[in-house]
Amino acid sequence: MARIYRDPQGVPHVRGTSVLDVAHGQGEVTARDRAWQLEHLRRRAAGSCAEVLGEPALAWDRLARRTRIEATARRAHEALDDESRAFVAAYVGGVNDGLHADAPELVRLGIAPAPWEPWTPLAVFLAQHLLFAGLAGKLWEHRARALLGDDAALLSHEGPLTPGSNAWVVGGARTASGRPLVAGDPHRVLESPGVYQQVRLACEDPDDPFDVVGFAFPGVPGVQHFAHAGEVAWAITNASADYQDVYAERLRRVGERTEALGPDGWEPAEAWTESVPVRGRAEAASVEVVVTARGPLFEGSVAAGTGLSLRAASDVLGDLGLAALLPLLRARSVADVDAALDHWVEPVNNVVVADRAGAVRYRIAGRVPVRAEANRHGIVDAADPGGAWTGWLTDVPRHDVADDDAVVTANERRGPESEPIGVAFAPPHRADRLHALLDGRDDLVPADFAAFHRDTLHLPAAAQQRLVAGLAVSGPAAAVQALVVGFDGRMEASSAAAAAYAAWRNAFVRRIAAAPVFAGFAQPHGHDPAFAPSLDLTGRIGLGLETLVARGTPYGLDLAGLAAAALDDAVGHAATWGETHVFAPLHGFDLAADDLVAPAVPATALDGDLDCVRCAGSLPGVTDACYRGSVARYVWDLDDRQAGGWVVPMGAAGDPRDPHHLDQHAAWAAGELAPIVTDWDRLTAE
């Protein structure tokens, strides 16, 4: 059996005599550290959250059932090679051996965690990434065009509501040690417990040795996205790829059969009803599941005769790409990691990888379908033959990086090579800022990369300050104007000017959203509540404010007048940015019945904001709270693994009673890293 060691932060180091021992140990220690989180993730994947969390969780359960997360996971599990399937099975065995019912949330709910099925890790992984691609964005674009016609393009902007990340790598000629450095931080909705688990996995089998430190999704074996294997290290960012399509379906019943209208006429479809127990309800909710030749319906019904179906790479292929997990653990070189990621399906990622020999490479990993341009921009007719997928993109970006060069990837549009990958990318600001920080440096050390993580310069502020500088205002509004115009662009928690800028920005966004031209958005959007955040007009304008300001008078709006009125609205704003910009992670109980209260976390004031390298994202016009941002940070040093560092927002343990539940939080909030400890004699054996 595997032996478990802990470092001073409580991070588990799993040491086994075989790869299956390691997998079992990882599963067992994850269950011990994250019992409630694993039960919640299992229920999210199965669509059974409402059974314990009540009515507010039903929207997700409905979406999970309709999109058939578990069914796709079962198919992907069956498609795994024998060794990978055994690896997952050993992990599941460890989870089931380690599950316990005394986590505070489980006690509050009065439930014991259910045993995991062989495919549950794959279902958990798929559920984490269902909304990572274009689905919600296509619903938004379709709605915007319906209400604004061709003018909808003015609301288009780089920066979708999908998660992002920073990752960068420099060759050895740019570092003090002469060996490459890799760093980055994934940006997601902040969750409690944290979405990533720091872990070390070490196999002592002389025929199959490996020793890897990295980040895992709780509930998924191995290390999926960010890791240092001693000889090689890698990192990813979301490639903002488009690998999901939405089809408008027409449905009918013919006797006992269900049919959908496809390109060749009416064709068979599957339909059945599932019951979803709901806490507080006497009767279970009914969810109709319909599957057409395009994919499962996520909205609509046979009775209505219409619906929207989702076609996704994972469903079409019956594969999630997790055959890459074992090859990644065994990787010793850039070429090994590159070959392992040839298995990858989704989410589609930018990958940077470097090894001790000095090789550095960038690539796209994942599967992107080839289809008509119309598919990439909204909802397409299921009966249109032109909407079919015709293959997979094969000529994906991949190139080696010179020893004296660097690669930055921050979800930005990377020139013409990005065109076949996706349609909506992040603004260039984080990437531009990282390039500026790296420019001219040939003496880089891990501490420099850690400092780059802390950079708070908010590049979009400059254009908005120019607008404010030209306004004629007086009285208290003039004082706000002076603070905004004098703002140095750094979103520091202690900054009064940053607070004034944010308060004015919030008010400006809300005034734009209230303009009569957007009145149609006040009507119900008709989509499932699970998509509400992505369809919110105010949030969309907040994200696209920079684009709107650059257009001068979009939609005939008097932006100068609205900006001036927003200065009046901002009078009396918070004294500092950190007064309102605080850590606000999402717990499962936050989307539950009112009597379920999430364990308390510190509402820590945070530096940074959306579009800063120090990503601590608010949503202008909606909330100043940091609801998404860096869910992990790391620096991988190919010269000395222990010279790097890593950190997560809260801590290694998911149990609020554990001393390691929050012991990394202060370091994370300050932009610092915890040490990576790999010397076994410096660890504590359990």
165 labelled catalytic: yes
3-state secondary structure 217-236: CCCCCCCCCEEECCCEEEEE
Q: Any idea which residue has 């070490």 for tokens?
A: 202
In the set 48, 84, 165, 314, the catalytic residue is: 165
User: CB within 8 A of 329, min separation 6: which ones?
Assistant: 19, 201, 203, 210, 212, 222, 223, 229
Provide the Cα torsion 437, 438, 439, 442; round to 10°: 130
- Residue 611 backbone class (left: φ over 0; alpha: ψ -120 to 50; beta: rest): left
Q: How far apart are CA 199 and CA 325, in angstroms?
A: 14
CB 521 within 8 A of CB 539: no
CB 605 within 8 A of CB 493: yes
Q: How far apart are CA 377 and CA 386, in angstroms?
A: 14
Question: Is the dihedral angle over the CA atoms 33, 36, 39, 43 positive or is it negative?
Answer: negative
Q: Any idea which residue has 């180091």 for tokens?
A: 13
Number of neighbouring beta carbons within 10 Å of residue 250: 17
Q: Is 245 annotated as a binding residue?
A: yes
Q: Any idea which residue has 């531009």 for tokens?
A: 432
Provide the Cα torsion 89, 94, 97, 101; round to 10°: -110
Half-sphere exposure of residue 229, counting CA atoms within 13 Å on the CB side?
Answer: 28
Q: How far apart are CA 371 and CA 386, in angstroms?
A: 8
The DSSP call for residue 444 is: B
Number of neighbouring beta carbons within 10 Å of residue 107: 11
Question: Which segments within 450-502 are labelled E, that is strand?
Answer: none
Q: Is 205 annotated as a binding residue?
A: no
Instruction: Identify the CA nearest to 550 among candidates 462, 673, 676.
Output: 462
The DSSP call for residue 296 is: B
Q: How far apart are CA 244 and CA 351, in angstroms?
A: 21
Q: How far apart are CA 134 and CA 247, in angstroms?
A: 13
Give, in order, the Cα–Cα distances in Å from 584 to each of 60, 327, 505, 567, 598: 21, 37, 20, 27, 12
Q: For residue 355, what is the enclosing H or E element?
A: strand 349-355
List beta partners, residue 361.
353, 400
Instruction: Identify the CA nearest to 52 among candidates 537, 573, 593.
Output: 593
Provide the Cα torsion 559, 560, 565, 570; round to 10°: 90
Q: How far apart are CA 553 and CA 493, in angstroms?
A: 33
User: CB within 8 A of 436, min separation 6: which ones?
Assistant: none
Reading the block at residue 568, the tokens are 């009046």
Reading the block at residue 537, the tokens are 């007009």
Phi and psi of 385, rounded to 5°?
Answer: -60, -25
Reading the block at residue 120, the tokens are 């549950």
3-state secondary structure 576-619: CHHHHCEECCECHHHHCCCCCCCCCCCCCECCCCCCCCCCEEEE
For the annotated binding site for Ca(2+), the residues are 242, 245
Active site residues: 165
